[in-house]
A and B are shown apart, each in its own frame.
Chain A
Amino acid sequence: MAGVVVDPVATNAELARTAGLEFPILSDPDLHMIDAYGLRHVAAHDGQDIAFSASVLIDAGGIVRWTRVTRNVRVRPTPDAVLAAIDASATGPSR
């Protein structure tokens, strides 16, 4: 698992420390990765571009198997939904 956000490394380090997060949080201030994944949300925060809230599951071979891009910032996939997607990714793609 990895997080992806426009925030700088120092902000992510502070978040990881305070929240006790052990997975990598990737800093993408220029939105290179966010653009590559089609997830730029233009002028979404004080006129600045940020990422849409989204989850993307990539299988062991590097193929995208499952995505959830929220239409509402408070709605995220549940842990059960993510685990089910991981289980299903071995058998085929789903959206």
Chain B
Amino acid sequence: MRLGLASSGLVLGLAGVIGYFAVVLAVPALVPFVRNHAAPNWLLVAAGLGLSLLAVRRAAPGAWMPRVLLGLNASLAALFAAFLYVMLSVPAASGPAIGAAAPDFALVDQSGKTTRLADFRGSPLLLVFYRGHW
């Protein structure tokens, strides 16, 4: 019974972590709140850790498996946090100044057409810079 509780905790933790990558890789644009904050995933991870802790508290003296599963679950949560908040962080960059004239450009688009800032005059333009190398 205690092992079932601990195992369930690890399963929840795994579901939270694996679920993040499954959702973000499959439909990132449809779930920006998951991509940006991973809130549902952290809820699953936290619930899993809670179950693992409960299993350890209720375990018979000398029972080691619930502690191992708690350790695995905590390590998984730590790796998830390190990936999201450390590995994917980047240095600060200011970008263009608000209120300044947008720098001009003349670049070729995917159809081979040269596109300039002036081509967009008269309507708002959203420029999305992205990392590429896909």
Contacts and interface: CB of A to CB of B under 8 A. Distances in A.
A73 B85 CA distance: 10
Contact of B127 (A55, A74, A93): A55
B130 A44 contact: no
Interface residues of A, number: 65
Contacts, number: 198
A12 B32 CA distance: 23
B117 interface: yes
A5 B133 CA distance: 9
Given A56-B102, A62-B121, A69 B93 contact: yes
Interface in A1-54: 1-7, 9, 11-13, 15-16, 24-28, 32-34, 36-41, 44-46, 48, 50-54
Nearest to B98: A93
Interface of A: 1-7, 9, 11-13, 15-16, 24-28, 32-34, 36-41, 44-46, 48, 50-67, 69-76, 78-79, 82, 86, 89, 93-95
A56 B127 contact: yes
Interface in B60-118: 84-85, 88-105, 107-113, 115, 117
Given A38-B94, A62-B121, A25 B129 contact: no
Contacts of A6: 132-133
A64 B90 contact: no
Given A1-B126, A38-B94, A56-B129, A62 B108 contact: no
Given A4-B130, A64-B101, 8 more contacts: A2-B120, A15-B110, A36-B103, A39-B95, A55-B129, A64-B98, A69-B93, A78-B36
